[in-house]
Every structure is written in C-alpha cells, then in structure tokens.
Amino acid sequence: MNRLLSGVASAVGLAVALLASQSVLAADPQQVKQGEYLARAADCMACHTAPGGAPYAGGLPIVSPFGTIYGTNITPDKEHGIGLYSDDEFFAALTEGKRRDGANLYPAMPYTSYHLMPRADSDAIHAYLKTIAPINRAAPVTSLSFPFNVRLGLMGWNMLYGKDVKLAPAEGKGEEWKRGQYMVDVLGHCGECHTPRGLPGAMQQDKRMTGGLLNGYLAPSLLANDLAARGWNHQDLSSFLKHGMSAQGTMFNEMFPVFHNSTQHLSDPDLAAMATFLLGEQPPQPKVLSEVKPDQLTASAQRGRQDYLNVCAGCHGGNGEGKPHIAVAMQGNTTLRLEDPRNLLRVIEDGIGEQQFSGFERMQPMPGFADKLSTQQSIDLINYLRQAWGGQPADLLVSQIEQLKAEAPAEHKAH
C-alpha cells in the first residue's frame, strides 16, 4: 500500500511539474524576449536584487526619509514571490501600486511612473518573470515608524499623487523623441530620483527633472540646458548610458546599478532616443570651459592645489588628465561642474568602490579621505577642483561644508 501511495504521489508530482513546464513552454517566445528587454529598461533587477543575492529574489534595503523599505521577491515562487499573480494582478501592482492581497505598495515602487505603461508591456514583463527560476525566500519585512507603517493611509496619498506623472505634449515631435520620452519618463522612471520631493514624499512636478536628493547625494538636473552647462552632447550622453563612462566621468553611487543592470543592455537606438528626449531635437550647445591658470586661483584653491598634488594626482594625473583603467579625468568632469558641491564632498569623504564597466573596462577603487583631510583641507581641495576644472567659483566656506556634512545620512556621518 505504501508503495502504491508513493507511486501515486510521484505521478501527481510529475504531472504538476509537466503542467508547469508546459505553461512555460506555452508562453510566446517573442513576448518573453520582449519582456526581458522591458524588465531591463524598467530597471526591475536593481531594486529587487540584494547585494550578492539571486536576481529578482528581493531583499535590497531602500533607504527613505520614512524608514527602510525592502525590495520584494518577484521571482515566480508561489509562497514568497509573484507565482500566484494573474496578468491583471501584476498590471495592478505595476501601475496602481496594489498587491495581490489588495494592500497598497509603498511608492518606493515607481508605480507613479509606471501608471503610463501600456498593458502589453506589463504582460510581456510578467511573461518573462514567469520563466525565471523561482526562489523560495522571503524578503525582510518593511517596518516603518507610525504613521508611515499604516498602508491604508496610502489610499489618500495615491488619490493625491499616484498619477501625478504626466507626459509632456508630443505634438510636432519626431518618433525618436517620443520613444525617448517613454524610455525616460515611464520605463526608466528617471524622474523618481531626479525630481525633488516635498514633505509627503511626492515628486514636485513643477520642478520635474531639476534634481533630487538621494541618500546624501544629488541626483542632478536632467534638463537640457543644465546638461549642456555640464558639457553634455548627444553622443556623449548616449555613450555614457551604454558604457557607464564618457569624457564627463563614470557612473557611480546609485547610478552604477542602473547602468550595470539596465542601460548597458539597451539597444543603441533606444539609448539615442533617450539622449534625444533629454537634450531635445535641437540640443543646446555644450558649454566649453576656459583654462584656469595657477595664478588665477583663489588663495583657498591654491592651497587645495597642493593637497590635490599630494593625495589625488597619483591617480588622476598632475594636470587632471586621469589614467585609463585607474581613475577618471578631472578636466570637464560632470561632478565638478555641478553648482551644488555635495556630490564632490561625498566622493572625497566616502570614496568609490571598484567598478566594472562594459567590455574589459575597470576602474580601481578610490579611497575615502574623511579621516585624512581636515575640514579646511576638504574645502580648499573642493575649491581647487571646482575652479580649475569645473567652471565654478572657489568661494565655499567652512559653514557651507559643515552644513552639507550635517545633512548627510548617518552612515556618511559615521566616517
């Protein structure tokens, strides 16, 4: 009898496995392939993959002003993932922020941008996710402080802000511009980081793409004139998205996972379309910086030049020319050209880990100097870098830098 029951159980298990495999095989291969590409374009992996974890299995901590939110498991696991989601339920999660059980998702999930996604693209992404390996692993439970832990309160938030993102009029625009708009504003949801947020955590749409603060760093303005002021042209911008590096520097901090998991996998036409949308069909001329000679430097910048030669020139070059595979050039570097100096301060204090770019390109790790430079030395160095190669004034004061340090998240202050 036991053998009979065992045989029946095995047969049932085999039947279930066959049905599951047939379900995967029944999927339209072209839809699955398109869904994989769209999942890359929508940058799903970056938020739903923990460092060192299985792709899409969740667990990534997403720090917000309201607490830490954890990326969920979106593999087809039926217990901890989205294996029980129908296409309708998946579409509701993507575009309305609704879980299968009816609970509201926190807007760390960018449904505020995805709400403009057509159903066909949602179905394709879902078709792809159903083909990846299910991972039976629960993501850490998000636990925010009151009242942000009351998901019911998100009903009112969604009514006010859930569909705030609207596409700019496309009349008279070419097809490349329109494609770029969809890739940037909807799939890429770039505005979620590059737009400032107000007290309720909602994007300030009247300041869309003018830059936003994220974990102590500035996600800079992506407006065409601001990009041009930092030296960007169409070719450099599309190449930057493809390779993670250009004459303006390399991707780092929160943008590096975006490059690693998303933009480097996109087609050249789509990357060109994104650059066309951001810079416009008739892009502004990129600003060319004039050379600043040593005798034109302020007193602070002159002191900073010596600090640069002491601690930076070994990697970045005595004249800021950089070294291939080691360190980026300082000449025309986009971080130095930002009016806001916080990113430059954070890089100097925190450093940057080793980075792997497309092909065989690598950049060695840059150490942080928070414990090696005094506040005055940091100011002098920043003033030198900004005046010599950033086209910015060298007039930062101790009070300004101390204020930026005070605004940094706790993990940065610990340095």
Q: Which string of DSSP letters, residue by residue, matches 182-241?
A: IIIIIIS-THHHHS-B-TTS-B-GGGTTS-EEETTEEE----HHHHHHTT--HHHHHHHH
Task: Give the model's pLDDT for residue 67.
Answer: 81
Q: What tokens appear for 156 in the block?
A: 């009112």
Q: What domain range is 86 assigned to?
A: 19-161
153-188 pLDDT, tens digit per residue, is: 788 888 889 998 999 999 999 999 999 999 999 999
In a domain, 180, yes or no: yes
Token pair recorded at residue 77:
């696991």
**What value does the mean pLDDT take over residues 355-376?**
89
What are the CA-CA distances from residue 328 to residues 86, 217, 321 (Å)?
Answer: 47, 19, 8
Total number of residues shown for the chain = 415
Q: What share of the chain is helix, strand, coil (3-state, %, to 5)?
A: 45, 10, 45
Residues 196 and 85 in one domain: no
Statement to judge: residues 156 and 217 lie in one domain: no
In a domain, 2, yes or no: no
pLDDT band, residue 411 (cuts 50/70/90): low
Co-location of 214 and 155 in the same domain = no
Is residue 316 located within the same domain as residue 257?
A: no
Beta strands in 32-93 (DSSP E): 61-64, 67-70
Look at residue 93 in the predicted model and tell me its pLDDT: 97
In a domain, 253, yes or no: yes
Classify residue 169: in a domain, yes or no.
Answer: no
Among 370, 334, 337, 338, smallest CA distance to 252 is for 334
Q: Are 275 and 315 within one domain?
A: no
Q: Is residue 105 part of a domain?
A: yes
CA-wise closest residue to 278 among 396, 197, 212, 183: 183
Q: Tell the residue number behind the tokens 């005070």, with chain if given.
A: 406
- Measured CA to CA in angstroms, residue 10 lies from 3, 13, 133, 136 at distances of 10, 5, 22, 21
In this predicted structure, the answer to whether residue 25 has a pLDDT above a threshold of 80 is: no
Q: End of a domain among 99, 127, 161? A: 161
Average pLDDT for 229-241? 97
Pair 222, 322 in one domain: no
Where among 211, 245, 279 does a domain terminate?
279
Is the pLDDT confidence value at 7 over 70?
A: no
Render pLDDT for 103-119 as a digit per residue (tens, 0 to 9): 899 888 999 999 999 99
Q: What is the reported pLDDT for 358?
A: 80
CATH of the domain at 345: 1.10.760.10
Tokens of 328: 């980026």
Q: What is the reported pLDDT for 225?
A: 98
What pLDDT, on a 0 to 100 scale, did the predictor assign at position 63? Answer: 82
The span from the CA of 119 to the CA of 80, in Å, is: 24
- Of 232-246, 250-264, 284-298, 355-369, give the lowest mean pLDDT range: 355-369
- Residue 54 in domain: yes
pLDDT by residue (tens digit) across 294-344?
899 999 999 999 999 999 999 999 999 999 888 999 998 999 999 999 999
Task: Compare 373 and 27 and report the one with higher pLDDT.
Answer: 373
Mean pLDDT of 91-110: 94
Structural domains of the chain, count: 3
Phi, psi of 390 (to 5 degrees): -115, -5
Asked if 128 and 214 sit in the same domain, the reply is: no
Please list, residue by residue across 185-203, b when 16 or more beta carbons sit within 10 angstroms of its beta carbon and e when fewer do.
bbbbbbbbbbbebeeeebb
Q: Facing residues of 98 across strands?
A: 104
Tell me what pLDDT residue 2 has: 44
Residues 28 and 121 in one domain: yes
Both 150 and 263 in one domain: the answer is no
* Residue 211, in any domain of the structure: yes
Q: Are residues 147 and 195 in the same domain?
A: no
What pLDDT does residue 8 have? 41
Q: Is the pLDDT of residue 223 over 80?
A: yes
Query: pLDDT tens digits, residue range 386-405?
Result: 999 999 999 998 888 888 88
Q: What is the pLDDT of residue 10?
A: 45
Q: Do the domain assignments include residue 8?
A: no
My answer on whether 321 and 246 are in the same domain is no
Distance CA(323)–CA(312), nearest Å, equals 12
Average confidence (pLDDT) over 84-106: 95
Q: Which of 129, 161, 193 is the endpoint of a domain? A: 161
25 and 150 fall within a common domain: yes
Residue 2 CB neighbours (<10 A):
6
